[in-house]
Structure formats: C-alpha cells, structure tokens
C-alpha cells in the first residue's frame, strides 16, 4: 500500500504496527519542514499513547506549539507533525482540529482506547479515501493504495459512473469503486471497537455561509480592501513556511497574480513563478503571465505546450488520476507541475478566488437570466433555445469575431449553445445543474447506471437555507466542484511529481471573511471578484490584468479532430464500447460523429468517456490481481 503512493512522498517511508490490535500505519514522506529524521512518520506522541500518519501542512503550528509549551509540553524536533500530534493528545481530536489552520488528511491511532480517527481538512485540499471490506478497514490518500491490500475486492460502481459522466468527476462521498468512500471536508470519522462508525462535522461550509450572510460586514470599500489584504497577506506569509525551495503557479489572472504579489512582500529575493502557454489562439495566457511576472520582478519560467506534449501526457493520466477524472485542464496542470518541480518543492496556487469572491461567469448572469426567463412561458423559452441552436457554434464564433478583440468572449458559440440548454429549466437550481453538467442525461449513456442524487447538488432544502441564487451557486461550487474537481486535479498533478501545492485563498478564515462581504463588493459593474481585484490593483496595474477570462483551458476540441483522433477512435470504437459494456454504443458514437463533423463541439462530453475508457484499460493491464470487475 505504501509503495503504491511513493510518488506522493519520494523522500522516505515509514511503517508502524500494533499487531495485537491489528493496526498498521504507513507513510510516504515529502520533506518540507524539519528535514531531519525528527520529522519522520508514523510519529508517536511523547507519552506513547497516540500514533499519527499525516499528509499536509499546519500553517499556525508555531502558535500552537508556543501554547502547548506554555502548558508544559516538550518537543523533540521542529515539525508541524509533532505539534499536531501533541495538540490531539492535549486537547482531544475534535478540539485540536478546530484550532488548525492548514491543509491536512491524517489518521490518529489511540493505543490506550483503541480508537482510530480519520480527519480531513476544512475545504478538502488533501484527499482521504476509506472502505470496509472482508473484515478490514482500509484508508489512504488515493484508491491505488487501498487496491494493493489483499482484502480489497470492490468492483466498479455504475451509479457513480453515471454521476461522473454528468460532472466529469465522481462527487463525494462516492468513489468509482463500490463501497469506497471519500471522507468529506471538515469531517472526522471515528472507529471504535465493537461500535458503528461515527462521522462528526467539526467545520461546515454551509454553516459558515449562513453565518456570514446573517452577520454581514458594513465596511467602506477602502476598509474592506484593507481588511482583505491583511488577511490574505497573513495567509500567504504563513504558507511560505518551508525548509525547501518554494515558488508559485502564475497564469496572469487575478487570483494567482494576487498570491504572487503578496508573496513578494514576504520574500527578500525574487519569487519563482511558473506558467504554461499554448500556440493555439484563444488559449495562450503566457504573455499575460510574463507581463505580470516582469512587473513584480519574479524569476519566471514558462513552457509552451504543443500537441505532442499532450500526446506524451495523456497515456499517463489514468496513473496520475486513479479515479476517472475528465477536467481537461488536468493536462496543463500536470505539465506545469512537472515544470515547477524541476526547481522547487512547494508551489502556491491561486485556486479558490472564483468561488469565494464570485468570479465565475455564471454568477454574473445566472441570477439575471433566471429573473428574466422565469415569467416567460416554457414553450417560448424552448423556441428561443431552438433559434440559438439553429446557428452552429462555429457560426456564432464568426459573428462574435466581428467585435473588437478586448470585448470578444472565448468560444461564444459553445457558451450560447449551453445557454440554449438552460432556457427551458423549471427553476434556478435546475438551471445551475444544467450549467455544471456535461451529460444532462447520463443514465441514457451508462448501461445499468442510476445516478445517485444524495449530495448538495440535489438538496431540495438548500434554497430555503440559502435564498440568494448567486450565493447558492457559490456555496454549491465550494462544496462540490472545488474539492472534487479543482483541488483533486491539483493534488494528483502536483503530488504525482512530489510537489506540494498550497492554496492561500482557501485558508478557511478567508472563506469565513468572504461570506461576510456583501455581494455588492464582490460583483460590481458587471464584473466579479471586485474586492479581490482592489487588493491586486495596489500591486499590479489594472491594464495588465483586465482581459477576457479563459481559465486553464486546452484546445481539446481541435486536438480530438487532429492529433488525438486515432487514439480517441480506438477508445470509442463500436467494438470496444460493446465488449467493455459500460456505455450504450449508439449514444457515444452519435456524440463522436457530431463532434467530428463540426455540427457540435462535444469535447467535454467526449473527454469524460475517453478518460474513463483509458482509465479502465490502464488499470486492467496494470493490476491484474485486482481486476476492475463490473
């Protein structure tokens, strides 16, 4: 099990067993703080009662250490692991984790009471999977570790596959394997002898949202900007703690540029920054990143990605993402992680700014569109959708191409066709689901799959608890898309090369502050992330930042018609689909034919199917001892 995740910790490994209790703990070490053997894991508490294995970083560990030392606790080394362990010993697990500021997934074994605690951080930056099978409770950072145990015998979950096809990721608490669960963020799973498993919520994103909305700040724009800058600067400064080289991902957008600007404040040497660019028009952000890097005086490294880089990367994606995962920005994320790891061991990222400060386009127009749509008869809305679809995406792209470059959105045809799909939605929450869905009817494509509808995305009572549609979308993104897509993508890509990615915007204190900020200070003048932008503009000129948002996108649509076509055709062939038995061949082949003809850009729907097909083939070959049974 330990060997299977050696990539997550290339600097050493450790094992600890309590044979009488039937407990074994394993750890792979990525040495960041306290590089000496005093930082090795598994680690025992000073009194010998507790043993921990832990992945992550506690950014306020020095504050907690001072408090524990004042109470008489003594420490052998200088690691955050030792502080985490002694905090749990002194205060109990639940009280200790409520004091932590950081990213973490850990297992704590109480030798005296024979209690195991599995804990995941507030927002789900670090992963934790668990399952009970054949008399064993197994847990680890990635499913491949669990699959290495002889007790593991789980087949694939067709229902989870249907959910995956909708979202391009398997939503927590499900995994692609039957009976294997993701521990959700802010949770403690307690295992006691002779008792049922107990799950405790120590921090809840919805409660933070409701509390923030109930207690809004009444600050002037200047005071709100000052407060946010101070809070972010503290988060960035704490996350620059490392005994190894450190840098940052830089796209040239608002979020990563803000992080890098604040890093400069805490560094006495140029910050090292890394970015990816593309030759294809409409996707390249390297020029913007280079301009920001030049202004901030960073030591900047960039890589221009060509189709051959993708071709080299794609066969390895199932190994990196050992659940099916189909956010195509995984490709540049892997590449930028590989590039970054050549120079540093820790990289700060700007993830989280869109969710916390209302940056996604759907926040800007979703509520407005619904308010205008709702009074119209559904028949009229359907007719309008038909009119939009009457012009192919390429036709809309040509029409929008007549606009000045600065006002021209990226891929307008695809976005208009997606809008057409939501015009007939019966309510705002159905509209949101349509916006975040790749396959709107995944059960039609997955043979025998029934999509589970037990998560936040399907919570009918959420509208009553969070009445504002924009706020509800922000919350849903924070508890679904953020941990299960964005953070999972970055975790697998970075840890796949032994690189730790840190996310200062997702310090839970920043989230709690953001929920208290009135919406008018997040969205203003038709633009999201208004308050975050005000912090950035104190450090970087506005004209270096203001441009159409493109995200970390890749031209999968063109690649599937070009250099990736043969690879895709092999995975989507009628014979392959029929023999493997997961999908309805007619549905998938029709989708593929549409894409090849240019009738419709089906890149996202196809990528979900392709990543699943590639994943099943890879693991069928790589691990015949635990085949992927249906």
Q: What is the pLDDT of residues 590-625, one digit of tens each?
A: 999 999 998 788 999 999 999 999 999 998 776 654
> Residue 503 pLDDT more than 90?
yes
Residues 518 and 608 in one domain: no
DSSP-derived secondary structure for 30-89: ---S--SGGG-SSEE-TTSSEEEEEEEEETTHHHHHHHHHHTT---SS--HHHHHHHHHH
Is residue 168 part of an annotated ligand binding site? no
pLDDT, mean of residues 381-391: 80
In-domain check, residue 367: no
Strands laid side by side in the 136-140 sheet: 136-140, 129-133, 181-182
User: Domain with 539 in it: what CATH number?
Assistant: 3.40.50.620
Q: In 3D, which of 346, 344, 305 has the Cα closest to residue 328?
A: 305
Q: Is 214 exposed, middle or buried (0-12, 13-18, 19+ CB in 10 A)?
A: exposed
Q: Over 350-394, what HEC string results?
A: CCCHHHHHCCCHHHHHHHHHHHHHCCCCHHHHHHHHHHHHCCCHH
In-domain check, residue 120: yes
In-domain check, residue 403: no
CA 259 to chain centre: 18
Residues 63 and 188 in one domain: yes
Distances (CA, A) of 133 to 118, 155, 183, 194, 395: 17, 12, 16, 16, 54
Pairing state between β 102-110 and 50-58:
antiparallel
pLDDT computed for residue 339 by the predictor? 95
**Residues 532, 536, 542, 545, CA torsion sign:** negative
Residues 345 and 276 in one domain: yes
Residues 234 and 186 in one domain: no
In-domain check, residue 465: no
With beta carbons less than 8 A apart as the criterion, state whether 595 and 561 touch. yes
Per-residue pLDDT tens digits for 315-336:
889 989 989 999 999 998 999 9
Look over the chain and give the mean of its residue pLDDT values, rounded to a whole number.
92
For the chain, percent of residues with pLDDT exceeding 90: 77
Tokens of 176: 């692609």
Burial 10-48 (b: 16+ CB within 10 A, else e): eeebbebeeeeeebebbbbbbbbbbeeeebbbbbbbeee
Rounded Cα distance between 486 and 174, Å, is 17
> Residue 406 pLDDT more than 70?
no
User: Domain with 178 in it: what CATH number?
Assistant: 3.60.20.10
The residue assigned the tokens 């950014």 is 59
End-to-end C-alpha distance for the chain, whole angstroms: 23
The residue assigned the tokens 């362990």 is 85
Which of 170, 203, 236 represents a domain boundary (last residue)? 203
pLDDT computed for residue 412 by the predictor? 80
Per-residue pLDDT tens digits for 58-115:
999 999 999 999 999 999 999 999 999 999 999 999 999 999 999 999 999 999 999 9
With beta carbons less than 8 A apart as the criterion, state whether 346 and 244 touch. yes
Per-residue pLDDT tens digits for 550-593:
555 678 888 899 989 999 999 999 999 999 999 999 999 999 99
Task: Count other C-beta atoms under 10 Å from residue 518's C-beta.
Answer: 14
CA 325 to chain centre: 11
Contacts of 228 (CB under 8 A, 6+ apart): 513, 517, 531, 532, 534, 535
Q: Which residue has the higher pLDDT, 53 or 413?
A: 53
Distances (CA, A) of 243 to 19, 102, 131, 340, 418: 35, 17, 35, 17, 47
Q: How confident is the model at residue 423 (pLDDT cuts 50, 70, 90)?
A: confident
Residues 170 and 301 in one domain: no
pLDDT, mean of residues 514-521: 98
Residues 508 and 489 in one domain: yes
Rounded Cα distance between 506 and 353, Å, is 8
Strands laid side by side in the 500-502 sheet: 299-305, 272-278, 246-249, 346-348, 500-502
In-domain check, residue 125: yes
CA 297 to chain centre: 29
> Residue 522 pLDDT more than 70?
yes
Q: Which residue has the higher pLDDT, 308 or 18?
A: 18
Contacts of 615 (CB under 8 A, 6+ apart): 317, 318, 321, 322, 323, 324
Residues 181 and 38 in one domain: yes
Is residue 80 part of an annotated ligand binding site? yes
Which of 155, 173, 203 represents a domain boundary (last residue)? 203
Per-residue pLDDT tens digits for 183-217:
999 999 999 988 899 999 999 999 999 999 999 99
> Residue 628 pLDDT more than 50?
no
Residues 189 and 99 in one domain: yes
- What is the extent of the structural domain holding 310? 211-358+478-544
Which of 203, 231, 266 represents a domain boundary (last residue)? 203
Contacts of 19 (CB under 8 A, 6+ apart): none
The residue assigned the tokens 């600065």 is 406
Residues 188 and 262 in one domain: no
pLDDT computed for residue 627 by the predictor? 43
Contacts of 368 (CB under 8 A, 6+ apart): none
Per-residue pLDDT tens digits for 238-288:
999 999 999 999 999 999 999 999 999 999 899 999 998 877 655 567 888
Task: Count other C-beta atoms under 10 Å from residue 210's C-beta.
Answer: 16
Domains contained in the chain, number:
3
Task: Give kind and range of the element (H or E) at residue 254.
Answer: helix 254-265
Q: How confident is the model at residue 549 (pLDDT cuts 50, 70, 90)?
A: low
> Residue 302 pLDDT more than 80?
yes
CA 144 to chain centre: 19
Per-residue pLDDT tens digits for 455-499:
999 999 999 999 999 999 999 999 999 999 999 999 999 999 999
Residues 183 and 254 in one domain: no
Distances (CA, A) of 65 to 60, 105, 108, 109, 504: 9, 20, 19, 21, 21
pLDDT computed for residue 149 by the predictor? 96
Q: Which residue has the higher pLDDT, 403 or 248?
A: 248
With beta carbons less than 8 A apart as the criterion, state whether 159 and 152 touch. no
Is residue 276 part of an annotated ligand binding site? yes
pLDDT computed for residue 547 by the predictor? 66
Is residue 349 part of an annotated ligand binding site? yes
pLDDT computed for residue 630 by the predictor? 38
For the chain, percent of residues with pLDDT exceeding 70: 96
Helices (H), 71-218: 80-91, 93-98, 143-147, 158-167, 205-214
Residues 12 and 116 in one domain: yes
Tokens of 391: 């012009």
pLDDT, mean of residues 513-540: 97
């Amino acid at each position: 099990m330990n060997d299977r995740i050696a990539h997550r910790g290339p600097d050493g490994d450790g094992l600890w067993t309590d044979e009488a209790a039937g407990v074994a703990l394993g750890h792979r070490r990525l040495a960041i703080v306290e590089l000496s053997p005093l930082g090795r894991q598994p680690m025992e508490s000073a009194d010998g009662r507790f043993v921990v294995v832990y992945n992550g970083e506690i950014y306020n560990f020095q504050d907690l250490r001072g408090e524990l030392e004042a109470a008489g606790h003594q420490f052998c080394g200088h690691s955050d692991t030792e502080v985490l362990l002694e905090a749990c010993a002194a205060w109990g697990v639940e009280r200790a984790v409520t004091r932590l500021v950081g990213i973490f997934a850990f297992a704590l074994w109480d030798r005296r009471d024979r209690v195991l605690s599995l804990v995941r951080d507030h927002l789900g930056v670090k992963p934790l999977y668990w399952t009970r099978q054949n008399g064993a409770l197994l847990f680890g950072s990635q499913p491949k570790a669990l699959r290495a145990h002889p007790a593991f015998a789980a087949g694939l979950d067709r229902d989870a596959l249907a959910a995956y096809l909708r979202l391009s990721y398997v939503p927590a608490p499900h995994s692609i394997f039957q009976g294997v669960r993701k521990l959700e963020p802010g949770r403690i799973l307690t295992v006691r002898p002779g008792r049922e498993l107990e799950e405790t919520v120590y921090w809840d994103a919805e409660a933070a949202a409701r509390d923030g909305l109930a207690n809004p700040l009444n600050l002037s724009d200047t005071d709100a900007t000052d407060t946010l800058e101070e809070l972010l600067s503290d988060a960035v400064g704490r996350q620059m703690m490392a005994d190894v080289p450190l840098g940052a991902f830089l796209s040239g957008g608002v979020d990563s540029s803000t992080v890098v600007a604040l890093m400069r404040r805490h560094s006495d040497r140029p910050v090292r920054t890394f970015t990816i660019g593309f030759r294809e028009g409409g996707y390249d952000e390297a020029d913007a990143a280079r301009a920001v890097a030049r202004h901030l005086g960073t030591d900047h490294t960039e890589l221009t990605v060509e189709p051959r880089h993708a071709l080299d990367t794609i066969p390895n994606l199932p190994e990196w993402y050992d659940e099916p995962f189909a956010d195509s920005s995984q490709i540049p994320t892997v590449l930028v992680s590989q590039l970054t790891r050549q120079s540093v061991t820790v990289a700060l990222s700007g993830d989280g700014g869109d969710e916390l400060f209302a940056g996604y386009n759907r926040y800007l127009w979703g509520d407005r569109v619904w308010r205008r749509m709702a009074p119209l008869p559904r028949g009229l809305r359907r007719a309008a959708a038909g009119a939009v679809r009457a012009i192919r995406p390429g036709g809309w792209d040509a029409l929008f191409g007549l606009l000045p470059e600065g006002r021209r959105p990226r891929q307008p045809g695809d976005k208009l066709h997606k809008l057409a799909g939501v015009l007939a939605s019966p309510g705002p929450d159905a509209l949101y689901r349509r916006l975040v869905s790749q396959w709107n009817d995944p059960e039609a494509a997955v043979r025998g799959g029934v999509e589970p509808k037990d998560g936040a995305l399907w919570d009918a009572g959420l509208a009553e608890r969070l009445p504002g549609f924009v706020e509800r979308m922000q919350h849903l993104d924070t508890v679904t898309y953020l941990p299960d897509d964005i953070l999972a993508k970055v975790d697998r890509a970075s840890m796949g090369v032994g690189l730790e990615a840190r996310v200062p915007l997702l310090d839970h204190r920043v989230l709690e502050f953001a929920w208290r900020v009135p919406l008018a200070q997040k969205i203003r003048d038709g633009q999201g992330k208004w308050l975050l932008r005000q912090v950035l503009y104190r450090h970087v000129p506005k004209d270096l930042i203001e441009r159409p948002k493109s995200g970390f996108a890749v031209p999968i649509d063109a690649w599937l018609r070009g250099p990736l076509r043969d690879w895709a055709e092999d995975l989507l062939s009628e014979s392959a689909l029929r023999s493997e038995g997961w999908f309805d061949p007619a549905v998938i082949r029709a989708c593929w034919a549409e894409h090849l003809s240019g009738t419709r850009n089906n890149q996202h729907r196809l990528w979900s199917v392709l990543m699943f097909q590639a994943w099943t083939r890879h693991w069928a070959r790589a691990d015949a001892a635990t085949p992927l049974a249906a």
